[in-house]
């Protein structure tokens, strides 16, 4: 991963391909899944419910998910707690056994967001779209597919862990558990699709390919006091005890105690391949503060995550910030871009004005790595006292 850099201003397919080239004669998508390489991204352990609720966030991401596999007329699905996604064979060509609980790894695609003219994908999904929707190609959100890399029988979950909670929070609802993970701040790395929205000290706990939200307690204890907005505090291992909840398909642990922890045996994220497919323009998939949020801290940083990688140099001049209805400008700011997480972090030189209505405009001059202009986006929030 290349180092983060700092861009300064006074106002305002896929990023990493093995070898950096796309073959002139594209293969079918299924043939490209599962080929190992050092270049890639990290997998996300999640639920079927979250895949359905946040297709834009997970689109083109390698994922791990559990559920009951089913088959009808040759078409496979994975279901968990009434949420369903379709399954397509990947590099191994193997799908899970119907009627059995399975744990699947693969590439998640919101097919309607792909360019249907791309030969790498149209042959694989147009037939499925015809069977399911009775038309040649779906709209965004209509055909959600996991291209299966591996499928194994789901082992029984006994001991709670960050991964087990992330994969099946319903299994532990209202249970008192203790888990160990790495402190990641207030979703500073875009590990989760949406904010927990419980309190100002909510933070993400991550281990291996899984992440959960921790709420209810400040990350502070004997010998540590961590800032949820500061990346320099991330990476510390914490042991968190609490009660398990599920919010919008995401695992949430309401903490009752937090102390320093030690890394578990399985704590290193797994590097996997992203598959080169033609993609639509970059879009914003997550922000902190969230859209319409009120009582934002005056010294808060702004983080925006893109649906795919953007050209770092295009961020300079591509972001404008203003106070709505006020002629006075907000403070000057810098933009730091984390290419590995596709996150732009905006840092102000001074505190924002209390009770100000802030508008952050991301312009179409921000470009994807393939040169496509992003869809313009405006984030609006209100500063507290």
Whether 255 and 172 share a structural domain: yes
Q: Which CATH number does the domain housing residue 350 bear? A: 2.60.40.1220
Mean pLDDT of 151-178: 92
CA distances from 183 to 16, 165, 188, 243 (A): 26, 16, 10, 18
Q: Which CATH number does the domain housing residue 200 bear? A: 2.40.50.200
Q: Which residue has better confidence, 31 or 288?
A: 288
Question: pLDDT of 220-231, one tens digit each?
Answer: 998 899 998 888
Query: What range does the domain containing 89 cover?
Result: 18-155
pLDDT level of residue 210 (50, 70, 90 thresholds): very high
pLDDT at position 34 over 50: no
Percent of the chain topping pLDDT 90: 51
Cis status, amide bond into 289, omega within 30 of 0? yes
Question: pLDDT of 4-23, one tens digit each?
Answer: 444 444 333 222 222 222 23
pLDDT at position 182 over 60: yes
170 in a structural domain: yes
Dist. CA 143–CA 52, nearest whole Å: 10
Whether 169 and 146 share a structural domain: no
Domain boundary among the residues 155, 172, 198 is at 155
Dist. CA 358–CA 330, nearest whole Å: 8
Whether 78 and 94 share a structural domain: yes
Q: Which pLDDT score, from 0 to 100, does residue 265 have?
A: 72
Q: Which pLDDT score, from 0 to 100, does residue 120 have?
A: 55
φ/ψ of 121, rounded to 5, equals: -125, -30
**Looking at the 3D structure of the chain, how many domains does it have?**
3
Whether 304 and 254 share a structural domain: no
Question: pLDDT of 274-304, one tens digit each?
Answer: 555 556 788 998 899 999 999 999 999 999 9
Dist. CA 73–CA 356, nearest whole Å: 57
Question: pLDDT of 55-82, one tens digit each?
Answer: 988 988 899 999 999 988 888 999 998 8
Whole-number average pLDDT of the chain: 83
Indicate whether this model's pTM tops 0.85: no
Domain boundary among the residues 128, 155, 182 is at 155
Kind of pairing between the strands at 83-89 and 144-153: parallel
Q: Which pLDDT score, from 0 to 100, does residue 158 have?
A: 80
What does DSSP assign to residue 352?
P
What does DSSP assign to residue 266?
S
Whether 27 and 151 share a structural domain: yes
Whether 173 and 111 share a structural domain: no
208 in a structural domain: yes
270 in a structural domain: no
Helices (H), ranges, 5-161: 29-32, 48-53, 55-58, 122-133
Whether 255 and 334 share a structural domain: no
274 in a structural domain: no
Kind of pairing between the strands at 101-110 and 62-72: antiparallel
What is the helix (H) or strand (E) element at residue 167, kind and residue range? helix 162-167
Q: Which pLDDT score, from 0 to 100, does residue 119 have?
A: 57
């Amino acid at each position: 991963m290349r180092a983060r850099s700092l861009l300064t201003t006074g106002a305002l397919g896929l990023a990493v391909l093995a070898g950096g080239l796309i073959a002139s004669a594209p293969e079918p998508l299924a043939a490209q899944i599962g080929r190992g390489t050092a270049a890639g991204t990290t997998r996300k352990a999640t639920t079927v419910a979250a895949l359905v609720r946040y297709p834009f966030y997970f689109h083109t991401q390698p994922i791990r998910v559990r559920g009951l596999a089913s088959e009808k007329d040759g078409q496979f699905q994975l279901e968990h707690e009434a949420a369903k996604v379709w399954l397509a064979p990947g590099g191994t060509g193997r799908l899970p056994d119907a009627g059995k609980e399975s744990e699947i790894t693969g590439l998640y695609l919101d097919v309607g967001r792909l360019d249907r003219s791309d030969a790498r994908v149209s042959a694989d999904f147009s037939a499925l779209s015809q069977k399911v929707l009775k038309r040649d190609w779906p709209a965004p959100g209509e055909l959600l597919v996991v291209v299966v890399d591996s499928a194994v029988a789901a082992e029984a979950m006994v001991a709670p862990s960050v991964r087990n909670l992330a994969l099946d929070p319903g299994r532990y609802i209202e249970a008192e558990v203790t888990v160990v993970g790495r402190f990641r701040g207030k979703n500073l790395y875009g590990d989760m699709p949406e904010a927990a929205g419980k309190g100002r000290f909510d933070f993400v706990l991550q281990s291996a390919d899984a992440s959960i939200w921790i709420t209810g307690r400040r990350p502070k204890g004997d010998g540590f006091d961590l800032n949820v907005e500061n990346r320099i505090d991330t990476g510390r291992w914490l042991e968190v005890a609490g009660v398990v909840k599920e919010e919008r398909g995401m695992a949430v642990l309401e903490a009752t105690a937090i102390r320093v922890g030690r890394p578990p045996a399985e704590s290193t994220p797994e590097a996997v391949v992203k598959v080169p497919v033609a993609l639509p323009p970059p879009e914003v998939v997550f922000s902190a503060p969230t859209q319409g949020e009120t009582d934002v801290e005056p010294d808060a940083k702004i983080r925006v995550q893109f649906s795919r990688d953007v050209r770092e140099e295009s961020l300079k001049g591509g972001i404008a910030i203003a106070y709505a209805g006020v002629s006075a400008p907000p403070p000057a700011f810098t933009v730091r871009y984390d290419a590995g997480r596709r996150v732009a972090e905006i840092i102000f030189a001074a505190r924002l004005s209390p009770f100000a209505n802030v508008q952050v405009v991301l312009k179409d001059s921000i470009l994807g790595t393939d040169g496509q202009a992003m869809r313009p986006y405006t984030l609006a929030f209100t500063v507290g006292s």
